Structure 1
């Protein structure tokens, strides 16, 4: 066999080796990112556990002043809070592994039930808000990039600054005053109306997700009821992240539009709108996808204020209620669930970014 034959025979195997290395790199990257969720959640759970114990045991914090010293001592002994702190911590970790997060002291509700019921509401709110943020940030960011240094660009940059600088509770109150109290277009608070709750009660094996149950029931009036209650909270929370997305898209679109392959396409007569939407948008979205995990964490922080403002019964709303009641067992479980949501969201975002941009996993 000649050298040419040898070279020709070995050539087809090169793409296969590249694909195998790429596939192996992606699989290893996904596995490592998934395994990092465990120490992340464990560290935060440990920090929250010991911080909660600085002010004393949860029973004294929640029920102090309502029980006699003897009753408090009996309750503390029954719950095991008279044992060494490290033993309490190991017992708590064992319960978490079994899915037992404890029982609240103020209303005697299992924390796992609170996480299941109200976690779905927070998930729905964050999902709606991400949609609002993308609808606001991506098109307006593209427009700002195309009109760089002209008056639309200046106006949109000011809008972006106002969007992420204005407190979310202030935006929520303003939206309620205008669209609920003033115009009467949208509900003031809650996730669903009373009549909607009655309709929901007809569903067999209901889920905690109101939107999913409304779709299962096929009732358009109920679906409008659910979505109308979600509009104002989603907009109030989505504006914050939408302003950040707007600036990210603008900055990256400007950089992409100045690249050589864009100039080459422009010289061939490709329309500016096509250059923006078909050639420059995807590279500009990669940083947004990378940052989205961090923004979801910020949204969960903003969800506490948003849910309290709109009485949206999610984890943020319940966290505020249990903190006021000083029910640290409930607070501990809710904070841990929020940490899990953030960690899983970051994992999903990292996987999407790795699929779009292979440089991420090498």
Structure 2
């Protein structure tokens, strides 16, 4: 007698559509080309919205300059030209790679990105790690205790983590762990002595943890990590709640699939089913969602960096929004848009190789 064994989607050849390299190439080409209209649309919207608030020179210096001096400054900055002319010049400079200088403090945008970009990258990486470390294990726990008290509590916690404003979570964490308990630093990327030590080294990446590890100074490493805990948790919980609910939902669906039932009928234990047969297929949709959550992390970084005085691009963006510096805001928003678009493209590439069905 021939035993009939039901195959899972990763085992059944009929479950995976056959596609040639051309299909994958077209899919990736389309995804790559979508980066350009996405960035163009977002930057265009920001350009015109910023002009609705008035120019930064008038708002900052109107009470300190004569009308003639004010007009001269506006003319020098080009803010007295027709709006469409300003927009055309902005597009031309952007295409040629000239991001200009900030209008309020005359800083090079390129220098600004080089100085503060590493801090935002570091914080985003920490937060993503926290989101995965929190969301995946708790999502698996919720799926295994489906419709019971642990599941209900974890689902409620996931909703709460996503719904609570990141700056409010940051303030609560600061109050508890920095002020009341005194366990962790209240703000900054590192202590003053550590910052000076890392900045005075001949070769620096701008990412404090890497620089501290390369220095071989254990005290500097601990100082950097202690400063990173609170902002990383505050920002990571924002995405961790989403990951938790996604893992739970997908794992429940995978555990009820036919090939898992077949393995269960052969006597495979529930723990092994969850670890070996169900978790990997359940994580495939999460890879795509994580790419979308990069936008949430960058948006949350603005509030997180401001709350914890983490001097990255988000902190600078909040400052330049306050003073309505057109040039700086446009450039920083464009950088954020490019990072999100490129990240989503990379996620699409990874998902296409993991699961060929996403190409259709």
Q: Same fold (TM over 0.5)?
A: yes
- Superposition map of 1:129-140 within 5 A: 129-140=127-138
Task: Give me the whole-angstrom Cα distance separating, in 2, the residues matched to 1:348 and 1:62.
Answer: 42
Please state whether the residue corresponding to 1:175 is helix, strand or coil. helix
Q: How far 1:125 moved relative to its partner?
A: 1.1
Please state whether the residue corresponding to 2:99 is helix, strand or coil. coil
Please state whether the residue corresponding to 1:126 is helix, strand or coil. helix
In structure 2, which of residues 231, 240, 251 is the aligned counterpart of residue 242 of structure 1? Answer: 240
Question: Could you tell which deviates more after superposition, 106-115 or 185-194?
Answer: 106-115
TM-score, structure 2 as length reference? 0.91
Task: Give me the whole-angstrom Cα distance separating, in 2, the residues matched to 1:357 and 1:150.
Answer: 32
Q: How far 1:248 moved relative to its partner?
A: 0.8
In structure 2, which of residues 201, 225, 228 is the aligned counterpart of residue 227 of structure 1? Answer: 225
Task: Give me the whole-angstrom Cα distance separating, in 2, the residues matched to 1:157 and 1:55.
Answer: 41
Aligned to 1:348: 346
Question: Could you tell which deviates more after superposition, 177-186 or 272-281?
Answer: 177-186
Change in 2 beyond 3 A, CA 1:62/1:342: farther
Aligned to 1:251: 249
Task: Give me the whole-angstrom Cα distance separating, in 2, the residues matched to 1:68 and 1:294.
Answer: 49
Aligned to 1:295: 293
Aligned to 1:30: 28
Aligned to 2:79: 81
Question: Could you tell which deviates more after superposition, 147-156 or 263-272?
Answer: 147-156
Please state whether the residue corresponding to 2:104 is helix, strand or coil. coil
Q: Which runs of 5+ in 2 are unaligned?
A: 1-12
Counterpart contact for 1:307–1:317, Cα < 8 Å: yes
Aligned to 1:67: 65
Q: How far 1:326 moved relative to its partner?
A: 2.1
Counterpart contact for 1:62–1:328, Cα < 8 Å: no
Question: Could you tell which deviates more after superposition, 333-342 or 52-61?
Answer: 52-61
What is the aligned-residue RMSD (CA, Å)?
2.0
Counterpart contact for 1:62–1:105, Cα < 8 Å: no
Counterpart contact for 1:214–1:223, Cα < 8 Å: yes
Task: Give me the whole-angstrom Cα distance separating, in 2, the residues matched to 1:114 and 1:62.
Answer: 21
Aligned to 1:11: none
Question: Could you tell which deviates more after superposition, 132-141 or 81-90?
Answer: 81-90
Aligned to 2:98: 100
Change in 2 beyond 3 A, CA 1:267/1:20: closer
Q: How far 1:23 moved relative to its partner?
A: 2.9
- Superposition map of 1:283-362 within 5 A: 283-362=281-360
Is 2:10 aligned against 1:40? no
Q: How far 1:59 moved relative to its partner?
A: 2.9
Q: How far 1:19 moved relative to its partner?
A: 11
Aligned residues: 346
Is 2:225 aligned against 1:197? no
Aligned to 1:146: 144
Aligned to 1:121: 119
Question: Could you tell which deviates more after superposition, 71-80 or 241-250?
Answer: 71-80
Counterpart contact for 2:251–2:282, Cα < 8 Å: yes
TM-score, structure 1 as length reference? 0.90
Q: Which runs of 5+ in 1 are unaligned?
A: 1-14
Task: Give me the whole-angstrom Cα distance separating, in 1, the residues matched to 2:24 and 2:184.
Answer: 46
Aligned to 2:167: 169
Aligned to 1:3: none
